[in-house]
Amino acid sequence: MKRLALACSLLLCVTQAAPKTPSLPPEPNVVLRGTLAQLAAGRLDGALANFSRDFASPAWRTTLTALKGLRINSLEPYRPTFWTPLEREYKITYDVPQGTLVLKNRAFVLLAFDAGAWRVTSWDKTPPPRVTLVPNRLVPNTGAVVKGVGFAPNAALDVSLDVNGDSVPLGKTKADAAGRLSWSFRVPSRAGSVLLLGAKARVQIASGDARVGRDVDFTRTFTARELTETYVANDLTFRYPSAYRATRDDDRFTVADSKGRAVLSGLVLRRLPATDGLSLADYAAQLGNLYGDRVGSAIDGITVRPIVGGGTPSFTVRFTDGNTGVLTTCPDGSTWALWRGDAAYAALQDGVANSTVLSCP
């Protein structure tokens, strides 16, 4: 009995110590079937938990209430080539009893993954337009193709690109007789004199009053040719793009675009006394503690960046607000420069930081 008790005790300990497997959210088709079952049973409020906020209007509540008693005939994936990791589209055919009649219906339903759950974001009786991009990551000065379906036959279409609030018309085209689109374009790098900067872009197509778009990653780097302006001071120099403006206030720098938006900030720091025992990496890791509010948000961690050519030591800084910065220093650690900005301007931040030359002993 003692051996059995001991074995049970050990087993209990193992069972208690075993890590819990995180539960995965249900697949979108499972969410959709469950939502339809709620509507069929007349449980509108339960069903609305799986809809976006747009469906909370009185008109939609009336429409969805009328689906009480519905019977699903089919539920199948629809236009899967236009799916994204966060969007799924389905075609439903269903019957709704109405007195002695049975009304046959169909719906084209889009679900999007947001805040850890799949939710219905559109419900249409006819297939709405959808677009996709090849490739699904845009790079300035390279080619791309936008493809679409569901437009009116031979519809006139205006195509534009939006990056971080800056919009560029890409051109005009037409859908074919079947309402399809396949149109090539070159990804611009500027909106007028303003460089397109951002981690995400949206290609938008307008047909009359209707608009449809697709969000994609936007990736760019800066060459020395694009960083045409040079800021020179006693303690450092750096380069930045034309049409931008660099200013200084004491030990702080600001780089603003032609619209006056401050897109980057820089800070020059002198090494504090009594820290000679710290290595460059240890000193960088202690930056938040050493300088406090001068560096802004609290620092979450640092990563050493490789030294290119004859460059100076540098680090990627992660802040607790989710943004990153670039920290460069003299080989002896006597002077430091910290560049930071919103994630949308990460490419410009890297370009400016990589061009920074400190006046080192």
**Residue 310 confidence (pLDDT):** 57
Q: How far is it, in rounded angstroms, from Cα 98 to Cα 69?
A: 9
How does pLDDT run along the chain (361 residues), one tens digit per residue? 445 444 444 444 444 444 455 567 889 999 999 999 999 999 999 999 999 999 999 999 999 999 999 999 999 999 999 998 899 999 999 999 888 777 899 999 999 998 899 999 999 999 999 999 999 899 999 999 999 999 999 999 999 999 988 899 999 999 999 999 999 999 998 888 778 888 889 999 999 888 999 999 998 888 778 899 999 999 999 999 888 899 999 889 999 988 888 889 999 999 998 787 888 888 888 888 888 878 776 777 788 887 655 567 888 888 888 788 899 999 888 999 999 988 788 888 988 998 899 998 7
Which amino acid appears at position 344 of this protein?
A
Q: What is the CA radius of gyration of the chain?
A: 28
Residue-wise DSSP of 30-72: HHHHHHHHHHHTT-HHHHHTTB-GGGGSHHHHHHHHTTTT-EE
Helices (H), 264-334: 280-285, 287-291
Tell me the helix, strand and coil percentages in the chain, rounded to 5: 20, 45, 35
CATH number corresponding to 229-358: 3.40.1000.10
CATH 3.40.1000.10 domain locations along the chain: 229-358
Two structure tokens written together for 288: 């938040």
CATH 2.60.40.230 domain locations along the chain: 130-218
| pTM of the full structure | 0.72
Q: Tell me how crowded residue 139 is: count the other CB atoms within 10 A of its CB.
A: 15
CATH 3.10.450.100 domain locations along the chain: 28-124
Sole residue written with tokens 């947001």: 114
CATH classification for the domain delimited by 130-218, as one of 2.60.40.230, 1.10.10.10, 3.30.930.10, 3.90.1150.10: 2.60.40.230
Q: Tell me how crowded residue 68 is: count the other CB atoms within 10 A of its CB.
A: 14
**Residue 12 confidence (pLDDT):** 41
Sole residue written with tokens 């990804």: 187
**Residue 344 confidence (pLDDT):** 81
Q: How far is it, in rounded angstroms, from Cα 127 to Cα 108?
A: 6
Q: Which fold has domain 28-124?
A: Nuclear Transport Factor 2; Chain: A, (3.10.450)
Two structure tokens written together for 18: 């075993």
Residues 235, 253 contacting (CB under 8 angstroms)? no
Residues paired with 255 in a beta bridge: 246, 264
Q: How far is it, in rounded angstroms, from Cα 231 to Cα 95?
A: 70
**Residue 20 confidence (pLDDT):** 52
Name the strand (E) or helix (H) holding 14.
helix 2-17
